[in-house]
Structure 1
Amino acid sequence: MSAVRLLVLGVTRRQQPTHGYAVRRELLSWRADTWTNVQPGSIYHAIKQLTLEGKLRTLGSEGGNRGPGRTLFELTPAGEVEFRERMDTALTSVDMEELGAGIAFMDALPRAEVIAKLEEQRARSRQIRDDLLGMVGDYPGRYEPPHATDLLELWSGVFDNLTGWTAGVLTRLRGGEYGMADDPAR
C-alpha cells in the first residue's frame, strides 16, 4: 500500500475543496516526511495519478494574486471507496508508514470500527513477536551468522513495543478519547 495515496486522499477529504499546495503544506506541517516517504514530488504525483484514475475530481481553479490560479480538488465516490479500503488496510498493518497514515485519519471512522481494526493489528503484532521469539532457540544454525539471535530479539522487541503502543491507543479509544466520526458532538 502507498501511505502517500492514503495521506493525499485523507487530507483532500478533510479539506475539500482543496489544492495541491494546501495538501502539501498540511502534510509537511505534520512532519509526515519524517515518518513516511512523503516528499513534495510524491504528493503532486499522487494527486495527478488519483485524478487520472477518477478518485479526485477537479473543480476549476482558485484565483491568486501571483501567478496562475491553483486547481481545486475533491474526492469522488471512487476516491471515498479507496480511502475507506486503504484505511481498513492501514489500521490492521504492522508497517509503520501504513499504520501511521491510518492513525492520522482514524477520526474519519466510527469508534467501534477503529477499535476492531486495531485489535486485529495488535493480534498480528503479538503473533509476529511470538513467532520471532520462538525462533531464537534455533539460532545460530549452521549457516546463519552468530548475531542472528540479536536480530530476532531486536525485531521481537519492535513488535512487542508496537503491541503495547496499540494497547494504549485502544484504551484511550474505549475511554472516549478522540473525536470519532460517529460521536454525537460531530
Structure 2
Amino acid sequence: MSAVRLLVLGVIRAHGEAHGYAVHRELMSWRVDTWTAVKPPSIYHAVKQLAREQRLTAVGPPASARGPARTGYRLTEVGEREFFELLEEALRNPDIEEFGAGVAFMRQLSEPRVRDLLTERLQTVEQIAIDLVAMKPQWPDAAQPPHAAHLLELWAAVFQAQARWTADLLAGLGGLDFAPGLPHRSR
C-alpha cells in the first residue's frame, strides 16, 4: 500500500474536485512531509498515476478560473473503492506511516468500523512486541555487534508504544464525528 495514494485520493475526495497544486498545498498544510516520506514530487506523480489508472477523472479548469489553467480531478467509482480499501488497510497496518495516513481520514468510515480496524491493529502491534521480546534469548552477547538484543528491545518498545497510543485512540473515539453507515467494507 502507498500512503501517498491514500492521501491524494482522500484530499481529492474531501474537496470533491482538486488540481495537483491544491492537493499539494493541502497536504503541505498538514505538514505531511514531517510524518511520512511523502514529498511534493510524489504528490504530483501520484495524481498523474491515479489518473492514468482511471482512479481519477480529469475535469477542465472552470471558465471563470483566474491564474494558470490547471486540470482538476475527481474520483471515479474505481478511485472511490480504492480510497476505502486503502483506508481500511491503513487503519489495521502496523507501519506507522501507512497508519498515519489512515488516521487522517478515519472519520470517513463509521465509528464501529473504525473500532474494528483499530482493535485489529492493536492486537497486531501487541503481538509483534511480544514476538520481538521472545526472540531476545536467541541472540548471543548483547554487548557485541550487531547488538541485536538491544535492537530487539528498541523495536519491542516502539510497538509497545504504538499499542498504547492505539488503545488511547480507541478510548477517545466517542468524541469524534464519523460517517454514518458503512460506505465500503473490503473484508
Q: Same fold (TM over 0.5)?
A: yes
Whole-angstrom distance in 2 between the partners of 1:11 and 1:20: 10
CA drift of 1:88 comes to 1.4
CA drift of 1:146 comes to 5.8
Residue 70 to residue 129, structure 1, CA distance change in 2 (3 Å): same
List runs of 5+ in structure 1 lacking aligned partners.
none
**Percent of aligned pairs sharing the same letter:** 49
Equivalence for 1:170: 170
Secondary structure in 1 aligned to 2:133?
Answer: helix
Question: What is the identity, as a one-letter code, of the residue corresponding to 1:138?
Answer: Q
| 2:67 is equivalent to residue 66 of structure 1 | yes
- Matched positions, count: 179
Secondary structure in 2 aligned to 1:61?
Answer: coil
Equivalence for 2:103: 103
Question: What is the identity, as a one-letter code, of the residue corresponding to 1:172?
Answer: G
Spell out the pairing of 1:1-186 with structure 2 (5 A cutoff): 1-62=1-62, 63-67=64-68, 69-140=69-140, 145=145, 147-173=147-173, 176-182=174-180
CA drift of 1:147 comes to 1.6
Higher relative contact order (CA 8 A, sep 6+): 2
Equivalence for 2:185: none
Whole-angstrom distance in 2 between the partners of 1:153 and 1:131: 11
Whole-angstrom distance in 2 between the partners of 1:21 and 1:30: 14
Question: What is the identity, as a one-letter code, of the residue corresponding to 1:9?
Answer: L
Whole-angstrom distance in 2 between the partners of 1:113 and 1:79: 20
Say whether the 8 Å CA contact 1:59–1:71 is kept in structure 2. yes
Secondary structure in 2 aligned to 1:70?
Answer: coil
Whole-angstrom distance in 2 between the partners of 1:87 and 1:58: 23
Whole-angstrom distance in 1 between the partners of 2:50 and 2:67: 27
Whole-angstrom distance in 2 between the partners of 1:177 and 1:98: 23
Q: TM-score, normalization: structure 2?
A: 0.91
CA drift of 1:36 comes to 1.1
